[in-house]
């Protein structure tokens, strides 16, 4: 298996059914013609060190989306051939070691992700920050302030990362490639800048059966009384 389309008809493990990262990965599979109905899905813990919890969150479908058999760690199921692939935001211990039995499906994942960005125009966002309405009513400035804080945090982090690029041998090359492959401002926060991404994400939640009805981005982030959006959106 070297292409996302190769996962059709396979047994796929996920660390959480409605997790944003897994939602985006299933969206990438759908772009390659592999829908939820085209695979068998199991939700469970990645390793024995992770807790046993309900990772289906009520979205299980017998015969299509189920908990891992006996709550056995998914890396063990993958090693034994009971799973064909796993969707996970964090690699298990030993993944980066020479001789690891695990690999990514896509060998040249960088080129694939760059093509994805060229096609959709954004890097998928992983988090939404919500603020209770009564807090916004008392402190209406908090939305723009939080958005500015997110942007400044990203700026400071990137500045330090570029300064201390010797933390890993080829980080300098990675930083240069990121700057050349992605346009300036690809990670800026704000509703207008991220509307297309929010629209696609909400659409995927609906298509994948997580949201019962299709919502508009303007519904997720309604206008406040002062004309600003009651939320913060960012690309990463």
Tens-place pLDDT, residues 142-182: 888 988 898 899 999 999 999 999 888 999 999 999 999 99
Cβ atoms of 228 and 152 within 8 Å: the answer is no
DSSP code per residue over 82-114: S-SEEE-SSPPTTTTSTT-S---S-TTHHHHHH
For residue 225, what pLDDT is reported?
Answer: 44
Query: What proportions of the chain, in percent to the nearest 5, are helix, strand and coil?
Result: 45, 10, 50
Residue 56 structure tokens: 């289906």
Residues 208-228 have a mean pLDDT of 80
Tell me which DSSP letter residue 151 carries.
H
- What pLDDT digit, counting tens, does each position of 91-137 carry? 999 999 999 999 999 999 999 999 999 999 999 998 877 788 889 88
Residues 205-211 have a mean pLDDT of 96
Helix axes 20-31, 191-207, angle to 10 degrees: 80
φ/ψ of 40, rounded to 5, equals -110, 130
Residues 6 or more apart whose Cβ sits within 8 Å of residue 98: none
SS3 195: helix
Percentage of the chain beyond pLDDT 90 is 75
Cβ atoms of 64 and 37 within 8 Å: the answer is yes
SS3 61: strand
- What pLDDT digit, counting tens, does each position of 38-84 carry? 999 999 999 999 999 999 999 999 999 999 999 999 999 999 999 99
Q: Judge residue 161's burial from the number of C-beta atoms within 10 Å of its C-beta, 0-12 exposed, 13-18 middle, 19 or more buried.
A: middle
Kindly report whether the global pTM for this prediction surpasses the value 0.95: no
For residue 128, what pLDDT is reported?
Answer: 77
């Amino acid at each position: 298996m070297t292409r996302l389309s190769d996962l059709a008809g396979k047994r796929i493990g996920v660390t959480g059914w409605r997790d944003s990262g897994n939602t985006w990965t299933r969206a990438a599979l759908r772009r390659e013609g592999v829908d939820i109905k085209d695979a068998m899905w199991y939700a469970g813990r990645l390793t024995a060190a992770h807790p046993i919890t309900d990772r289906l969150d009520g979205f299980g479908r017998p015969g299509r989306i189920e908990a891992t058999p006996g709550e056995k760690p998914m890396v063990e199921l993958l090693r034994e051939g009971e799973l064909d692939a796993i969707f996970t935001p964090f690699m298990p211990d030993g993944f980066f070691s020479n001789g690891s039995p695990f690999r990514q499906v896509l060998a040249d994942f960088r080129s694939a992700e760059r093509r994805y960005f060229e096609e959709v125009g954004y890097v998928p966002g992983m988090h939404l920050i919500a603020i209770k309405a009564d807090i916004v009513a008392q402190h209406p400035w908090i939305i723009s302030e939080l958005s500015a804080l997110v942007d400044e945090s990203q700026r400071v982090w990137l500045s330090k990362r570029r300064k201390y690029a010797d933390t890993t041998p080829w980080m300098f090359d990675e930083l240069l490639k990121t700057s050349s492959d992605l346009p300036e401002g690809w990670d800026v926060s704000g509703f207008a800048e991220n509307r297309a991404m929010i629209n696609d994400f909400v659409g995927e939640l609906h298509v994948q059966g997580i949201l019962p009805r299709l919502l508009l981005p303007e519904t997720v982030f309604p206008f406040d009384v002062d004309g600003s959006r009651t939320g913060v959106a960012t690309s990463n």
